[in-house]
Chains A and B, each alone.
Chain A
């Protein structure tokens, strides 16, 4: 850039020299080894600190952060299972509806009672409510 001030031209010249060396450094084996070691060390230190504080809190009969995290992880797992069950139910319902539509008139391929069919037909509304109600308002950035 011809208009660039001299200090900028100086920076660009240095950057041109330094950047490729730094880039090759972060792609080098030694950098990878260092990152691996740091990650392991950090994990060990954090694990040790976490175990120590957990022991102390448990002795006072208080839950530790890891207990809360574990419960939330399990809750998340439960939520995923509910979602999978809901999807399976919907698929089954769709298959039954399709079978009912293709079956000859007067024959009930599902073997269900009329009351059962009515309950099934109300399902989507319940799902929509659940989906909306499940929102936790995480879109604070909107």
Chain B
């Protein structure tokens, strides 16, 4: 194969490669030293309610156009700042700028005190209290709830078990329902090779590194590929900043409260009861069919943590007349983080929520 060698092009390429290598050295040193990490979770907010380690945050918004408050419910396994990563790449910021009154539940970092927290502690204790607080604070009769990952499980069970909660609509994203598709850790519990209680340490919780490793095995080459991507793009400041942010979040797991984990392992992973829609909880059977508010299940088609097959049954399990799916060609986090999410996915989620909200009239600001 003959190659046309244009001297100008060769010089330009050498110059570009030299510049990039210099930038690689600079960014590499910054990365190793941990310098220049973007400030996370910087959207202004107030803590409007707290109980033990649980906090309810309300984001400042003086350009509110939607009356119905929007409550984000995060998972129990990771940090809530994924909702508010950095300016320009923040789900919270985008929803705030679209006129929503945004609240976020942060569960805090569990220690020995939370080891005995069961699923009911969250679904029948904290969440109904939090929704009540949002109603009291805003003066609005109803709240839109948006649950992410295990936060979606908690939101579903809370609303199904307490159907009188003042919830106007429910959106859930990347929610595990059918645990047969949930990867090796769930399979090991289904087969009885690993008992959930075996993973609990002497604080009474499942350590953060066990949670992290259970996600790592889902994509064994993921870490190496991440570093290869970083090396290839190390000259690119934006890429490095985004990589630092996402790497930090994806490794920043927190312990899982032991009692809730045992229930999750036994009820969901081993007995797969979420897939039946009927979950024994708090001395009664919580039936997802008791959810009758407008409902949307947001699915990432490339999600390797909660694959589409693991979450797709949900839309048929709830009792809502208006139950729909939004599917995006994204991964577990890519549904709400990154340029494509900002440009395409989040606007569609926002439109759904706007359709199920009451607009603010008369300029009343709470």
Contacts and interface: CB of A to CB of B under 8 A. Distances in A.
Contact of A27 (B79, B184, B221, B225): B184
Question: Which 6 A-B residue pairings sit nearest by Cβ, starting from the closest?
Answer: A72-B112, A135-B50, A138-B108, A76-B113, A22-B220, A138-B53
Given A15-B221, A76-B112, A142 B45 contact: yes
Contact of A139 (B40, B47, B51): B47
Given A18-B221, A142-B47, A136 B53 contact: yes
A33 to B, nearest CB: 7
Interface stretch (A79-87, A96-104, A107-115): A79-87
Contact of A138 (B81, B109, B125, B225): B109
Contacts of B232: 4-5, 8
Given A18-B221, A134-B51, A142 B194 contact: no
Interface of A: 4-5, 8, 11, 15, 18-19, 22-23, 25-27, 31-33, 35-36, 39-40, 43, 46, 50, 65-66, 68-69, 72-73, 75-77, 79-80, 83-84, 87, 131-132, 134-136, 138-139, 141-142
Given A8-B228, A32-B184, A36-B188, A80 B45 contact: no
B52 interface: yes
Nearest to B40: A141
A115 to B, nearest CB: 27
Contacts of B87: none
| Secondary structure dominating the interface of A | helix
B204 interface: yes
Most buried by B among A19, A23, A131, A142: A142
Interface of B: 40-41, 45, 47, 49-53, 55, 57, 79-81, 106, 108-109, 111-117, 121, 125, 183-184, 187-188, 191, 193-194, 198-199, 201-204, 217-221, 224-225, 228, 232
Contacts of A25: 220
Given A22-B220, A50-B202, A73-B204, A35 B112 contact: no
Contacts of B53: 136, 138
Contacts of A36: 188, 193-194, 198
A72 B111 contact: yes
Contacts of A87: 125
A13 B305 CA distance: 24
A141 B116 contact: no
Contacts of B217: 26
30 contacts: A15-B225, A18-B221, A19-B219, A19-B220, A26-B220, A27-B187, A32-B184, A32-B187, A32-B188, A46-B202, A66-B202, A68-B112, A69-B112, A73-B112, A73-B113, A76-B112, A76-B114, A77-B116, A79-B52, A79-B113, A80-B125, A84-B125, A134-B51, A136-B53, A139-B50, A139-B106, A141-B41, A142-B41, A142-B57, A142-B106
Contacts of B81: 141
Nearest to A76: B113
A135 B57 CA distance: 13
